[in-house]
Copies of this chain bind each other. A is one copy, B any other.
Amino acid sequence: MKKPASPTIEDVARAAGVSTATISRSINNPEKVAQPTLTRIQDVIRKLGYTPHSGGRTLASNRSNTVGAIIPTMANAMFASGLQSFQEELSTAGVTMLVASSGYDGRHELKQIQSLVTHGADGLLLIGAERLPETREFLALRQIPYVISWCYKPDSPLLFAGFDNHKAAYAMAMEVLNQGHRKIAMIAGISKGNDRAANRIKGVKQAIEDFGQNARLLDVIEASYAQTEGGDAFAQLMNRSDAPTAIVCGNDVLAAGAIVRARLSGMGVPDDVSITGFDDIDIATTVYPTLTTVRVPQRRMGRSAARLLLELLSTDHTPSSIEFETEIMHRESLGPPRLQ
């Protein structure tokens, strides 16, 4: 790509009648420059529209002040708003964000990680703890500092700013059980290569097992992130001779799809069947009946991930992981099962 000529530090120095060292200082350590000199330089900088060349800067200082984020997809409300907070927080520290998406694919994640590192990312934000051995190797070999969000593991050497998907799903399932449901099904996100989805499934299974009292998990259908997928899975589950009285969903999009499909099929929620979600994004309150779901503190998580990463990059000590608590949002879609 060609690039139009821009003023260099040399041009600024000449126009201001000082050396390039002084220009550099007035940008990076203004307190080390005499006030009158500084003022004059800043005038020249403004007049020339000068901004330092990142390449030269990166090369000379060995830091790029950019950080990379690789998320499954931006076209997903929860990642999008987490990313927004992450970027806002970085921005206050003068750090810029490179973004790429993995499309929930491990190989593609590795490629994107390499690409962002090559393009100068000093550190990375990654989603989830599960990745290819090659990816772990690359991160280790190149000693890339990174923080993991959207999940949390207590006894791990890795750095997390996230929540425990297993625990949160367990709590949601317990809530369903406590309402009196015994025949439960789950519409989960695709668990392959996605530890968040996998742990939500495990959490639900564990809760039902721990609860006992003849509670059963009739079926788990995995579906990709689209309302119609949730609707199709819902139809399939309700067609069973042994239909569930409650369906726990792995995310709000699937749950909303199930609710919309229930309405189209003339089924009452929660009277005929209860439905719960996970994430608490916008549609949880748009859908009718409104969705009982698990709130995930996306914004705080994003901000916190940025802070951890900045700390990791600027200091010697390794900061510690942060676990966020989730919360069950009680709305309309979960109720007691109809008396048989």
Fill in one digit per residue for A59-88: 1 if any B CB lies within 8 Å of its CB, else 0.
100111110000001111100110110011
Residue in contact with A117 in the complex, picked from B51, B141, B227, B285, CB distance below 8 Å: B51
Contact A80 B74 (CB under 8 A): yes
- Assess the A84–B91 pair: CB atoms within 8 A: no
Contact B285 A282 (CB under 8 A): no
Cα A114 to Cα B96 in complex, Å, equals 11
Size of the chain A interface, CB-CB below 8 angstroms: 69
Q: CB distance B100 to A98 under 8 Å?
A: no
The number of times this chain is found in the oligomer is: 2
Q: How far is the CB of A329 from chain B (nearest CB, A)?
A: 15
Per-residue contact bits, chain A 87-110, to B (CB 8 Å; 1 contact, 0 not): 110010011111111000000000
**Cβ–Cβ contact B1 & A119, under 8 A:** no
Kindly list the 10 A-B residue pairs having the minimum CB-CB distance in the complex, ordered from nearest.
A55-B58, A4-B143, A54-B120, A55-B59, A75-B81, A1-B313, A80-B80, A1-B63, A74-B84, A51-B118
Q: B-contacting residues of A (Cβ < 8 Å)?
A: 1-4, 6, 49, 51-59, 62-66, 73-77, 80-81, 83-84, 87-88, 91, 94-101, 112, 114-120, 122-123, 137-138, 141-144, 227, 253, 256, 260, 263, 282-283, 285-288, 313-314
Question: Across the interface, which residues of B come within 8 angstroms of A283, CB to CB?
Answer: 282-283, 286
